[in-house]
Structure 1
Amino acid sequence: MKVVVIGGTGLIGSKLVAKLDEHGHQTVPAAPSTGVNTLTGEGLAEVLKGAQVVVDVSNSPSFADDAVMAFFRASTTNLLKTEAEAGVTHHVALSVVGTERLQGSGYFRAKQAQEELIRASGIPYSIVHATQFFEFMKGIAAEATDGDTVRLAPVKIQPIYSDDVAAAVGRTAVGAPVNGVVEVAGPDTFRLDELIRKGLAAKNDPRTVVTDPHATYFGTELEETTLLPGPDAQTAGTRFSDWLAQQA
């Protein structure tokens, strides 16, 4: 099976390419560095020739509201149009658990727009909703930092290791299209403020985590379960404590 991975040189993409290669698939990483640009269409038609599956794990180079919306709209539109012309039979996209509940954020509005384009395309599809990666905890802390204080809400979060995300996307890619959403999450549920406090302590980071029920998450005020998956989510195996110990 020929699988083209858009964003195939990034964190998830590179892991996904390696996993699919191990299982004998013809996997092609596609990114601007490999001559494929979904914004301009450069190289798209060539790389999609003979592909049965396209997996989009790309991300916007800018998270500014207008820029990220423009990226996902243009990139997804070009990709789906070229897939239809090439006869691709399964489009897989990586998105985020809670996207539809985080619409106060420009980034998540853009991800929602991406998902709507996929659903309307007529191409059989699967959308993988993952919870926040372990590796993203640093970014969450940075976004919530003011001086030496990290202000976070005491809401639930069930983070996941990027390796486990890549594995879930890979399983979805080689399976039949679900024409819906597959959710995947880590094995343990934490309180967001406590999780970041634990992560900072492990890195000897001197910042103080302040618990604030009204602290926003990338522009959105959270309810207790906003970041959690539903009851049918696939549960990955790697625990945050084990990953944290590996980093040390």
Structure 2
Amino acid sequence: MTADPAETHLAKTLIQAVETADSSARLLEAVQQLSEARLEAAIPTLIAALGYNNPGAAVAAVDGLIMLGKAAVAPLLELVDTYNYGARAWAIRALAGIGDPRGLGLLIEAAKNDFALSVRRAAARGLGTVNWEELSPEQAKSAQAEAAEVLLEVLQDPEWVVRYAAVTGLQELAIAMAVSDTDWAMRILSQFEQRIEVEDSQAVMARIWMAQKEIHEYAVSMLEKQPDPEVKTLVSALDLDWQATLDRLYARKRREEPLPEGDPRKFREAAATIYKEIA
């Protein structure tokens, strides 16, 4: 297929603008214009922009790569910067936004083993946005199970923002597997219950609660469409008292908040401590 001369000229002009930009503002503008043009010839330049020390340009490049879709997947997998963790995180975001199953291996590896929390976070979120329908039912079931196993590991990550992303990914997976693999969806819910008992981040606890609610609403809608006994079991497992759950979250938050100066409870606690020491 012969390239369109006008398109080729436009690509060269826009790419040159990126490569010759002499300020952060001009670089951002040049990358935005290149992204908006949606030219496949621009993919290597957009990937290179992920590694520039310019977050605005990186965001624009990610947007452009996502708009280019499948054409950007192979170059992203091939050209991802293994030394620059910032560029790696942006590349993972682009792959997550595209959702092509070809990126699954990289997402799994990054979520499990990358030293950079920004990369693990992006990968964990991405594992919930894979376009599973592009795989055969057998392939999808196996790949979803592998992704869920990894995200359950990531749910123990020392960084709360990564755990938060894992909850988001697990929510999407549970919804995707609500009918095709109800046992796995139930396992995810069970792990949510276990995690919330030991979780020390209020944000992660609230995100788990929201995930439970979203999964419940989806399962109820599915049950209305098809009276599947397994989906009914899933709905029953999520028949939670949401107000009681919220009360529990708030009570725990109150317990963990530091007492203000002058609060009588501080004196009671101090007196109790002194009594124990002299008793």
Scaled by the length of structure 2, the TM-score of the pair is 0.30
Q: Could you say which structure has the higher strand fraction? A: 1
Q: Could you say which structure has the higher helix fraction? A: 2
- Higher RCO structure (Cα 8 Å, ≥6 apart): 1
Q: Which is higher, the Rg of structure 1 or of structure 2?
A: 2
